[in-house]
Chains A and B, each alone.
Chain A
Amino acid sequence: MKIIIRNSSPDPIYKQISDQLRGMMITGELKEGDALPSIRNLAKDLRISVITTKRSYEDLEREGFLETVGGKGTFVAHQNKEFIKEQKLKIIENRLSEAVDEAKMLGLKKSELREMLDALYEEVL
């Protein structure tokens, strides 16, 4: 499990952590039933405050990604992978259609937009 916190990021630290954990659960790097480090332990290792990691876990719990079993710890919850993927696809579709709208307003051709997308896809890791 790899978590990197960027001080230069505009996102608050709790969000950086929950985003990265969520990503790992969606890609399957973290699997259902996997145990996560305790809130305090993660805070210690990342050298951040306990409340910050607590908030990340709480957000993910609310979204249904994690569940905390009293006295045992926090685990990756059972989740409907298809449903999550569906949701994510919807987000991508919405953003793409926004981009298409903007492109049309500028009079960009489909091929030009496609070129832009190709370049971006290569660029972003």
Chain B
Amino acid sequence: MNKIIEINGVTKEFEGFKLDNISFGLEKGYIMGFIGPNGAGKTTTIRLIMNLLKKDSGDIKIFGMDNSKDEVAIKDRIGFVYEESYFYEHLTIKKMKEIIAPFYSRWDDEKFDEYCSVFGLLPNKKIRDLSKGTKMKFSLAVALSHNAELLILDEPTSGLDPVFRDKLMDILREEIQDENKSVLFSTHITSDLEKIADYITFINNGRIVFSDQKDVLLENYKIVKGDSGILTDEIRSELLGIKENRYGFEALCNAEKQAAFTQFEIVVEKPTLEQMMVYMQNK
């Protein structure tokens, strides 16, 4: 039983949006990047995992347990960071911590203090006086201080500068050293994931476009560029998200299909996650 997260055929419909029969899983000891444009369903999926929303159908298992039946036991082992601050604004960091800590059976005060000093969090500051980025750091400090086996981070880097984002990636790398922790990390800043993520799940319009090892994904696709003259209907049908202008075209292409037009003069490049996300959305 090595799957930490198992999502099977989950559907949730709101007015104007449908999370449509999504399935994916995450193994113990790895980091998964959960990417997709705004409004694709990332936060909805995370809220379903955390049982903050009720699913219409399907099945979500965390640590092999049902996410609603065993909610309390599961949440004790999850460290989460939501995009929005959920703290009491009028309290100080120290007071807020004192309220949160008893909810966790393995709360570690020492670790929390350590993160506070690493992140530059002052215990006597009121939460409402913190910047968006500092609130995020406080959320992270809480998420990292109760020996969680699964970290679920929803857009944790959106309010943070590149230097701190880099530090956070180092912390996550440190966290997974013992092989028992996993991280699900949603973001649209894909450069953060480019190196660190083991798996990438891409969601668009409420559907999972792919969920696979990052290396496999990046190897299976290429960016091709060339003269628009070579774009026959047949070639067009093999390309994803073609962008054309008067100087030529650019598109994403399955690495296997690339052989079909190597006879032409084209430039072939390795895609970035961001390019894959953009081109796949244009298809």
Chain A, interface size category, equals: 10 to 19
Is the CB of B125 closer than 8 A to any CB of chain A?
Answer: no
| Binary A-proximity of B141-180 (CB < 8 A = 1, otherwise 0) | 0000000000000000000000000000110011011010
User: Are the C-beta atoms of B219 and A12 separated by less than 8 Å?
Assistant: yes
A49 touches B214 (CB 8 A): yes
User: Which A residue sits closest to B177, measured CB to CB?
Assistant: A40
Known contacts A12-B215, A12-B218; decide if A48 and B195 are in contact (CB<8 Å). Answer: yes
- In the complex where A49-B31, A51-B198, A51-B213 touch, is A43 in contact with B173 (Cβ < 8 A)? yes
Say which residue of B170, B215, B219 sits within 8 Å of A49 (CB atoms).
Answer: B215
Q: Chain B's interface: helix, strand, loop or mixed, by majority?
A: helix
Q: From residue 21 to 71 of chain B, which have CB atoms closer than 8 A to chain A?
A: 29-31
- Closest chain B residue to A41, Cβ basis: B177
Closest 6 interchain pairs by CB?
Answer: A51-B198, A44-B173, A49-B198, A48-B195, A40-B177, A50-B198
Bound form: Cα–Cα A43–B198 in Å: 11
Given contacts A10-B270, A40-B177, contact A47 B169 (CB under 8 A): yes
**B78 near A: Cβ within 8 Å?**
no
Q: Are B270 and A49 in contact (CB under 8 A)?
A: no
A123 to chain B, nearest CB (A): 26
* A31 touches B (CB below 8 Å): no
Q: Is B197 an interface residue (CB 8 A)?
A: yes
In the complex, B7 has a CB within 8 A of chain A: no
Q: Which residues of B contact A12 (CB under 8 A)?
A: 215, 218-219
Contact A48 B270 (CB under 8 A): no
B219's nearest neighbour on chain A, judged by CB, is A12
A44 & B177 in contact (Cβ 8 Å cutoff): yes
**8 A Cβ contacts from A13-64 to B:** 13-14, 40-41, 43-44, 47-52, 55
- Chain A residues proximal to chain B, CB less than 8 Å: 10, 12-14, 40-41, 43-44, 47-52, 55
Min Cβ gap A42→B in Å is: 11
Q: Contact residue range for chain B?
A: 20 to 34
Q: Which residues of B contact A52 (CB under 8 A)?
A: 215
B196 within 8 A of A: yes
In this complex, what residue of A is CB-closest to B179?
A40
- Please, which residue of chain A has its CB at the minimum distance from the CB of B166? A47
> Closest residue of chain B to A46, judged by CB?
B195
Minimal beta-carbon separation of B88 from chain A (angstroms): 36
Complex CA distance for A52 and B213, rounded to whole angstroms? 9
A51 and B29 contact, CB distance less than 8 A: no
CB-CB under 8 A for A47 and B173, given A10-B270, A40-B179: yes
Given contacts A40-B177, A49-B195, A51-B199, 5 further A-B contacts (CB under 8 A): A49-B198, A49-B214, A50-B29, A51-B214, A52-B215
Residues on A with C-beta less than 8 A from B179 are 40
